[in-house]
């Protein structure tokens, strides 16, 4: 991996977790700690991170938490269109899991008027959106807090789903690739997402078309983990043909 590629992956990870340690990054990328420190110095010079003793933090993470806003707000129109399509798959009496993410947050904003609906989430911002609706039985996992995504992660979050049964999970992803499968910037999220999938009868992946064909740092597994992908109308003809070739069920939302 070239230095520029490594720095891009390091930044992606810090944007997901809010922080990273030199020792951990050295192990993950199989380079010396000196090399990692040089990478972090370059990223700090660009104003993207702030170095601290033993690692680095995201430069604007504190602002996001204080404003209770997600760091990633790209392709918001596509995400809202996906949410409008995804809410059609929710029924009265369902128990659903909402993964953390900007698209699932848009979905949460549309969850109103259902009867006897139970929602489980690891996203504190989603909990705040749904918490005022007395008709929703809301459950929130425990876990380690990640400032950029306002979410809870790690084994404590994953263990919450032991002996839990959900009808549906609406899952987020950073990348969708037929070769690498579903990928994410943070390793700590993998155990949580696996637990969500194992607890659910049906897995819906909500992902805008910019995620298709891309790969992030850590792989969750093959696309076969997902029952249905909901994406937007900017999906390319080539990607649609690939989904059809490999029998991937998908729905295209209209912007």
Tell me which DSSP letter residue 174 carries: S
Q: For position 64, what pLDDT does the model report?
A: 64
Burial of 99 (0-12, 13-18, 19+ CB in 10 A): buried
Q: For position 67, what pLDDT does the model report?
A: 63
Is pLDDT of 232 > 80?
A: yes
- What average pLDDT does the structure give for the chain? 92
Helix H or strand E encompassing 86: helix 76-86
Q: For residue 39, what are its two tokens?
A: 């990478």
List C-alpha distances in Å: 252 to 7, 140, 206, 207.
33, 30, 10, 10
Q: For position 34, what pLDDT does the model report?
A: 94
**In DSSP terms, which residues pair with 203 in a beta bridge?**
169
Q: Cβ(36)–Cβ(9) under 8 Å? A: no
Is pLDDT of 172 > 80?
A: yes
Instruction: Tell me what percent of the residues of the chain surpass a pLDDT of 90.
Output: 68
- The whole model's pTM is what? 0.87
The 3-state DSSP composition of the chain as helix, strand, coil percent (nearest 5) reads 40, 25, 35
Q: For position 190, what pLDDT does the model report?
A: 95
Q: For position 76, what pLDDT does the model report?
A: 94
**In DSSP terms, which residues pair with 43 in a beta bridge?**
none
Q: Cβ(172)–Cβ(206) under 8 Å? A: yes
Q: For residue 2, what are its two tokens?
A: 């070239």
Most confident of 81-90, 177-186, 212-221: 81-90
Confidence at 206, pLDDT banded by 50, 70, 90:
very high
Is pLDDT of 36 > 70?
A: yes
Is pLDDT of 20 > 90?
A: no
Q: Higher confidence at residue 45 or residue 74?
A: 45
Q: For position 42, what pLDDT does the model report?
A: 93
Strand ranges (E), the chain: 19-21, 49-52, 55-58, 95-98, 117-121, 136-140, 144-146, 151-153, 166-171, 175-177, 181-184, 200-206, 218-221, 228-232, 250-253
**CA 192 – CA 172 distance, rounded (Å):** 12
Q: Higher confidence at residue 117 or residue 177?
A: 117
Instruction: Tell me what percent of the residues of the chain surpass a pLDDT of 70.
Output: 96
Average pLDDT estimate for 148-176 = 96
Is pLDDT of 65 > 80?
A: no
């Amino acid at each position: 991996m070239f230095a520029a590629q490594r720095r891009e992956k390091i930044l992606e990870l810090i944007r997901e977790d809010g922080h990273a340690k030199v020792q951990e990054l050295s192990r993950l990328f199989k380079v010396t700690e000196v090399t990692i420190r040089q990478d972090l110095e370059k990223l700090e010079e660009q104003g993207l991170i702030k170095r601290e003793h033993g690692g680095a933090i995201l430069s604007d993470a504190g602002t996001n938490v204080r404003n209770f806003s997600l760091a990633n707000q790209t392709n918001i129109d596509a995400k809202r269109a996906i949410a409008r399509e995804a809410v059609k798959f929710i029924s009265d009496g369902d128990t659903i899991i909402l993964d953390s993410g900007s698209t699932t947050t848009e979905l949460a904003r549309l969850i109103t008027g259902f009867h006897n609906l139970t929602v489980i989430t690891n996203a504190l911002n989603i909990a705040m959106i749904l918490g005022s609706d007395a008709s929703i039985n809301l459950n929130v996992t425990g876990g380690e807090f990640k400032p950029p995504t306002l979410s809870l992660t790690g084994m404590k979050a994953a263990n919450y789903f032991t002996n839990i049964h959900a009808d549906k999970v609406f899952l987020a992803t950073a990348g969708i690739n037929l070769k690498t499968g579903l990928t994410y910037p943070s390793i700590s999220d993998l155990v949580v997402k696996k637990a969500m999938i194992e607890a659910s009868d049906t897995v819906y992946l909500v992902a805008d078309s910019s995620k298709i064909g891309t790969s992030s740092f850590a792989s969750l597994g093959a696309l076969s983990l997902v029952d249905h992908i909901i994406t937007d109308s900017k999906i390319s003809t080539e990607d649609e043909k690939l989904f059809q070739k490999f029998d991937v069920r998908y729905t295209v939302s209209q912007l």
